[in-house]
């Protein structure tokens, strides 16, 4: 791989369009730039026949990062000179340069991501590239590789690089999203993992909750952020959330993750979404989701003016859609079946958001906690997407939404599955009534 990168010129970097892919692409692009190579970069949602058109003739030599290992036959057929850096499972082999986490014995789901693999190549090319370690970690966090509460495996070596270079700080802190970028009451009310019944989705309730704890949400005219709180106030807040969680049967393994290792980028400005690695990753995902991976790439590569501004607008758009969806659900209300609630959103809520919004409806007191909620929305291909959300009390009683959705889809030719508390399905809209009837019946059986 190193020889390929050093000896060739005129590269086309192709990367996945999510946070891990964009960070991998940015690292690849910067390392090539530092080698004095000519390069272009193209993010893509997928690597398939349909998208080959936009990927053709971008350069003489290709470098696929955070994708490619699973599409070797397709790449082989269409590109003559290429290298692949990836962490996804691979079945095929190639005689071209191919650096894959699994091939060297690392677990690409937990120990290293696409950005991490690309970073290791960059570091091997030039030790000075360790200044790219923060971006590599943003990719790992974006890929949820810290889901056990901390980064593990090779990711920890990259973390150590970042700390040594004085670019990263890691410590234990509350894991809710928006420590730096959301005013306190919003920070609580938008918490969806976990969601706190009585708080999530209800900003006023959150303000009341905070004031009861003696934590002000305003200082003069300024809104207070979690990052502004004193250590004693932070502690008080975490304990109070823990109590809310316990009272609502949120299991210990979830509550334990309320405080976890967090990774902050020391050179980024406070109160921006770049300060915290998770928020940085979310910003990149917002760019990708709106087909503006190019903006995310520029932010990764150091643009703090125009590109950052545009990326923040995309993130705001996402939040606005979430808020609008929640308002829609509050205003139209839910259909109540015998064993579940239905949020029939049609085209009013995006299929990618309907699940998150359904989950927020418990907190917002739109739905009673004694039944699960299934949100329905059309996807961009005209199919119906069903997103089920429950609470831990129902799971304790035997509810498993993943199994229920899967079983309800079987006779109607749809596809479904997922976790006990959150799951999804997709099926033909003409089967809606049939689906709901069967789903309701299965949920009833599970809870009986
Ligand atoms: Mn990835």
Residue pLDDT, tens place only, 367-378: 888 999 999 999
In this structure, the answer to whether residues 267 and 311 fall within a common structural domain is yes
In angstroms, the CA 204 to CA 193 distance is 19
Picking from 261, 295, 324, the residue at the C-terminal end of a domain is 324
- The DSSP string of 339-354 is S-EEEEEETSS-TTTH
**How does residue 250 score in pLDDT terms, banded at 50, 70 and 90?**
confident
**Cα 154 to ligand 1 centroid, rounded to whole Å:** 14
In this structure, the answer to whether residues 320 and 346 fall within a common structural domain is no
Which pTM does this prediction carry?
0.85
Residue 124 confidence (pLDDT) = 98
For the sheet containing 415-418, what is the strand order?
335-336, 341-346, 373-378, 384-389, 422-427, 415-418
In this structure, the answer to whether residues 90 and 196 fall within a common structural domain is no
In this structure, the answer to whether residues 308 and 347 fall within a common structural domain is no
Residue 323 confidence (pLDDT) = 86
pLDDT > 80? residue 165 = yes
Q: Is residue 193 one of the residues assigned to a domain?
A: yes
Q: Is residue 423 one of the residues assigned to a domain?
A: yes
- Distance from the first to the final alpha carbon of the chain: 58
**Cα 342 to ligand 1 centroid, rounded to whole Å:** 34
Q: Is residue 159 one of the residues assigned to a domain?
A: yes
- Listed in sequence order, the residues at least 6 apart from 430 whose beta carbon sits closer than 8 Å to its beta carbon are none
Residues of the chain with pLDDT > 90: what percent?
Answer: 76
**Cα 364 to ligand 1 centroid, rounded to whole Å:** 34
In this structure, the answer to whether residues 397 and 286 fall within a common structural domain is no
H-helix segments, 113-202: 114-125, 133-142, 154-164, 184-189
pLDDT > 80? residue 295 = yes
**Cα 103 to ligand 1 centroid, rounded to whole Å:** 16
In this structure, the answer to whether residues 57 and 204 fall within a common structural domain is no
Q: What is the pLDDT of residues 6-25, one digit of tens each?
A: 999 999 999 999 999 999 99
- The DSSP string of 272-340 is STTSBHHHHHHHHHHHHHTT-HHHHHHHHTT--SHHHHHHHHHHHHHHHHHHHHHHHHHHH--EE-SS-
Q: In Å, what is the CA distance from 404 to each residue of 194, 360, 390, 416, 419? A: 21, 21, 12, 9, 10
- Looking at residue 54, which CATH number applies to its domain? 3.90.1640.30
pLDDT: which is higher, 114 or 192 = 114
**How does residue 392 score in pLDDT terms, banded at 50, 70 and 90?**
confident
In angstroms, the CA 171 to CA 161 distance is 16
Beta-bridge partners for 384:
378, 427
In this structure, the answer to whether residues 290 and 367 fall within a common structural domain is no
Q: Please give the average per-residue pLDDT across 208-222, as a whole number.
A: 94
**Cα 386 to ligand 1 centroid, rounded to whole Å:** 26
pLDDT > 80? residue 193 = no
Residue 51 confidence (pLDDT) = 85
Residue 367 confidence (pLDDT) = 83
Residue 119 confidence (pLDDT) = 98
Residues of the chain with pLDDT > 70: what percent?
Answer: 100
**Cα 20 to ligand 1 centroid, rounded to whole Å:** 5
Q: Is residue 146 one of the residues assigned to a domain?
A: no
Q: What is the pLDDT of residues 396-421, one digit of tens each?
A: 899 999 999 999 999 999 999 888 88
31 contacts 85 by C-beta, under 8 angstroms: no
- Looking at residue 439, which CATH number applies to its domain? 3.10.310.40
**Cα 288 to ligand 1 centroid, rounded to whole Å:** 13
How wide is the angle at C-alpha 289 spanned by C-alphas 131 and 11, nearest 5°? 50
Residue 369 confidence (pLDDT) = 86
DSSP classification of residue 225: B
Q: Is 360 exposed, middle or buried (0-12, 13-18, 19+ CB in 10 A)?
A: buried
Q: Please give the average per-residue pLDDT across 329-335, as a whole number.
A: 92
**Cα 67 to ligand 1 centroid, rounded to whole Å:** 7
**Cα 66 to ligand 1 centroid, rounded to whole Å:** 5
In this structure, the answer to whether residues 7 and 127 fall within a common structural domain is yes
pLDDT: which is higher, 7 or 318 = 7
**Cα 285 to ligand 1 centroid, rounded to whole Å:** 12
**Cα 143 to ligand 1 centroid, rounded to whole Å:** 6
Omega within 30 of 0 (cis) for the link into 194: yes
pLDDT: which is higher, 339 or 252 = 339
Neighbours of ion ligand 1 (CB under 5 A): 20, 66, 114, 143
What range defines the domain where residue 389 resides?
A: 333-447
Q: What is the pLDDT of residues 62-96, one digit of tens each?
A: 999 999 999 999 999 999 999 999 999 888 889 99
Alpha-carbon Rg for the chain in angstroms: 23
**Cα 48 to ligand 1 centroid, rounded to whole Å:** 17
In this structure, the answer to whether residues 183 and 302 fall within a common structural domain is yes
**Cα 293 to ligand 1 centroid, rounded to whole Å:** 14
> How many domains would you assign to the chain?
3
**Cα 75 to ligand 1 centroid, rounded to whole Å:** 18
pLDDT > 80? residue 297 = yes
**Cα 136 to ligand 1 centroid, rounded to whole Å:** 11
pLDDT > 90? residue 389 = yes
Give residue for tokens 């599970």. Answer: 446
**Cα 11 to ligand 1 centroid, rounded to whole Å:** 21
pLDDT > 80? residue 433 = yes
Q: Please give the average per-residue pLDDT across 154-176, as a whole number.
A: 96
**Cα 117 to ligand 1 centroid, rounded to whole Å:** 10
φ/ψ region of 365 (left if φ > 0, alpha if ψ in -120 to 50, else beta) reads left
In angstroms, the CA 288 to CA 286 distance is 5
Q: Please give the average per-residue pLDDT across 171-194, as a whole number.
A: 88
Q: Is residue 147 one of the residues assigned to a domain?
A: no
In this structure, the answer to whether residues 315 and 183 fall within a common structural domain is yes
**How does residue 281 score in pLDDT terms, banded at 50, 70 and 90?**
very high
**Cα 275 to ligand 1 centroid, rounded to whole Å:** 21
**Cα 76 to ligand 1 centroid, rounded to whole Å:** 21
**Cα 141 to ligand 1 centroid, rounded to whole Å:** 10
Q: Average pLDDT of the chain?
A: 93
Q: Of 371, 376, 367, nearest to 348 (Cα)?
A: 376
Q: Is residue 189 one of the residues assigned to a domain?
A: yes
In this structure, the answer to whether residues 161 and 56 fall within a common structural domain is yes
**How does residue 422 score in pLDDT terms, banded at 50, 70 and 90?**
confident
**Cα 19 to ligand 1 centroid, rounded to whole Å:** 8
**Cα 264 to ligand 1 centroid, rounded to whole Å:** 20
**Cα 218 to ligand 1 centroid, rounded to whole Å:** 39
**Cα 212 to ligand 1 centroid, rounded to whole Å:** 42
**How does residue 43 score in pLDDT terms, banded at 50, 70 and 90?**
very high
In this structure, the answer to whether residues 268 and 189 fall within a common structural domain is yes
**Cα 232 to ligand 1 centroid, rounded to whole Å:** 38
13 contacts 37 by C-beta, under 8 angstroms: no
**Cα 335 to ligand 1 centroid, rounded to whole Å:** 38
Q: Is residue 128 one of the residues assigned to a domain?
A: yes
Q: Please give the average per-residue pLDDT across 297-325, as a whole number.
A: 93
Residue 408 confidence (pLDDT) = 97
**How does residue 49 score in pLDDT terms, banded at 50, 70 and 90?**
confident
């Amino acid at each position: 791989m190193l020889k390929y990168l050093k000896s060739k010129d005129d590269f086309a970097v192709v990367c996945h369009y999510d946070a891990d892919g964009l960070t991998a692409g940015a690292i690849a692009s910067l390392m090539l730039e530092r080698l004095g190579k000519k390069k272009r970069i193209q993010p893509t949602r997928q690597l398939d026949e349909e998208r080959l058109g936009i990927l053709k003739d971008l350069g003489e030599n290709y470098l696929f990062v955070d994708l490619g290992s699973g599409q070797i036959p397709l790449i082989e057929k269409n590109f003559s000179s290429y290298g692949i850096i990836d962490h996804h499972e691979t079945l095929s082999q190639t005689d071209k340069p191919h650096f894959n986490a699994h091939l060297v014995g690392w677990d690409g789901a937990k120990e290293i991501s696409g950005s991490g693999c690309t970073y290791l190549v960059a570091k091997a090319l030039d030790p000075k590239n360790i200044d790219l370690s923060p971006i590599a970690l943003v990719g790992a966090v974006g890929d949820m590789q810290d889901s056990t509460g901390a980064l593990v495996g090779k990711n920890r070596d990259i973390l150590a690089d970042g700390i040594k270079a004085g670019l990263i700080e890691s410590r234990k802190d509350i894991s809710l999203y928006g420590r730096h970028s959301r005013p306190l009451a919003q920070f609580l009310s938008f918490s969806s993992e976990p969601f706190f019944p009585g708080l999530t989705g209800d900003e006023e309730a959150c303000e009341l909750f905070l004031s009861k704890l003696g934590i002000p949400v305003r200082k003069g005219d300024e809104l207070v952020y979690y990052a502004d709180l004193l250590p004693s106030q932070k502690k008080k807040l975490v304990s109070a959330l823990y109590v809310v969680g316990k009272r609502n049967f949120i299991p210990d393994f979830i509550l334990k993750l309320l405080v976890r290792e967090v990774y902050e980028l020391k050179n980024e400005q406070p109160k921006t979404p770049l300060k915290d690695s998770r928020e940085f990753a979310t910003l990149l995902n917002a760019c990708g989701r709106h087909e503006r991976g190019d903006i995310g790439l520029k932010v990764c590569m150091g643009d703090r003016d125009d590109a950052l501004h545009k990326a923040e607008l995309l993130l705001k758009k996402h939040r606005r859609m979430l808020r609008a969806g929640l308002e829609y659900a509050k205003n139209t209300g839910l259909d109540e079946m015998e064993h579940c609630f239905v949020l029939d959103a049609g085209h009013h809520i995006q299929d990618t958001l309907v699940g998150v919004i359904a989950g927020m409806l418990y907190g917002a007191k739109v739905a009673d906690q004694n039944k699960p909620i299934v949100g329905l929305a059309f996807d961009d291909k005209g199919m119906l997407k069903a997103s089920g959300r429950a609470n831990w009390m129902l799971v304790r009683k035997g509810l498993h939404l993943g199994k229920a959705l899967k079983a309800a889809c079987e006779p109607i030719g749809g596809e479904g599955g997922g976790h006990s508390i959150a799951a999804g399905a997709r099926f033909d809209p003409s089967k809606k009534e049939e689906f709901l009837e069967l789903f309701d019946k299965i949920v009833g059986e599970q809870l009986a």
